[in-house]
Amino acid sequence: MRARMGFYFSEAMRSLSTNKATSFAAVIAMLVALLIVGITAVGFLKARSEGERIQQQAGIVHVFLTDAATDDEVNALNTTLQRNPDVKNVQIITKEAALKRARTLFKESPGVLENLPGNPFPRSLDATLVQPSRMDAVAKTVEGQPGVSDVGTGGEKARKAIDYIQVGTAVFFAIGIGILIAATILVANTIRLSIYSRRREIEVMKLVGASNSFVRMPFMIEGFLCGVFASVLAMLSVFGSVKLLGNAFGSLIDSEGLGAQSGDVPLAWIAVGLLGLGIALGMFGSATSMRKYLKT
């Protein structure tokens, strides 16, 4: 078995070196397809991550407390929110924590907070919601209660942003599916042309009694190798392009993955996906393109 696999690999390598033009065309076709799919995947994941981030921010009702609010009033408000089925959890934000949060928000413009008279930020209760769409309903349950100075929600702008992100995510997903189908057809046709140029070689092998599997395996391995090579080039191109765009237009990705704030999709998984797709395209294209010549 090992000797046979070695023979298959040697035949695949010989074929790649002998048929450089057709092999190059197959690699370029897969590279273009993987590039488009990879960039679309990055856009889809970024849109989804931004949607989750905005939803998380919009899904918090900020109940700002008066300076005169007593512990009993704060506890009563906390209990009211905790018992609300639309509230996931409640966090008490002290004045010190509110000031620290403001410094984080304005870290690129520290001058905004330099001349503040003391600490003007009030205490608050931050209620994280199960569904961001319920923020107005939750806010009404505590508005006007003793100890409450104001209630803040994401409002209409947050809803519109969420809607836009959801539409954008759906569009990216639909485009990705369409591109994947088109890429499969493109690669299959390119590999079909490559195999067509070597149809005489296949016919000779069949005439001397070679089985279908014996004829097919070198071509499958050739498709595998082309897929791996195209995938590596696509990974370098996609991640390099995104890094350049990130440096030019802001942080599109970080060192670990897309949407690290949400803890989702590390870049390694995108690389694995491109590698798997490249191998699948190469081997599937080879397998389907040979059916005509193998009579299977």
Strand duo 60-65 + 124-129: pairing: antiparallel
Please tell me the predicted confidence (pLDDT) of residue 282.
81
Instruction: Give the count of alpha carbons within 13 A of 32, CB side only.
Output: 12
Same domain assignment for residues 220 and 241: yes
Same domain assignment for residues 265 and 286: yes
Same domain assignment for residues 40 and 174: yes
CA 233-234-239 angle, to 5 degrees, is 105
Same domain assignment for residues 67 and 183: no
Instruction: Give the count of alpha carbons within 13 A of 187, CB side only.
Output: 31
Structure tokens at 245: 């765009």
Same domain assignment for residues 142 and 184: no
Same domain assignment for residues 238 and 136: no
Instruction: Give the bridge partners for 6, in sequence order.
Output: none
Residues 6 or more apart in contact with residue 8 via CB below 8 angstroms: 217, 218, 221
**How many angstroms separate the first and last alpha carbons of the chain?**
24
Amino acid letter at 38? Answer: G
Question: Inter-axis angle of helices 212-249 and 2-18, to 10 degrees?
Answer: 60
Same domain assignment for residues 280 and 198: yes
The domain that contains 131 carries what CATH number?
3.30.70.3040
Cβ atoms 289, 220 nearer than 8 A: no
Nearest to 184 by CA among 281, 39, 283, 40: 281
* Domain interval for residue 237: 2-54+159-294
- Domain stop point among 121, 153, 185: 153
Nearest to 245 by CA among 95, 32, 46, 65: 46
Please tell me the predicted confidence (pLDDT) of residue 254.
47
- Print pLDDT tens along the chain (296 aa): 666 677 667 767 776 777 777 778 778 888 888 888 888 777 777 777 766 666 666 678 888 888 888 888 888 888 988 899 988 888 888 888 888 877 777 676 666 666 666 777 888 888 888 877 777 888 888 888 888 888 887 655 666 766 776 777 677 778 778 877 777 777 777 777 767 766 777 777 777 776 777 777 777 888 888 888 888 998 888 878 777 766 655 544 444 444 434 344 567 778 888 888 888 888 877 777 777 666 64
Same domain assignment for residues 149 and 175: no
Please tell me the predicted confidence (pLDDT) of residue 263.
41
- Domain stop point among 106, 122, 153: 153
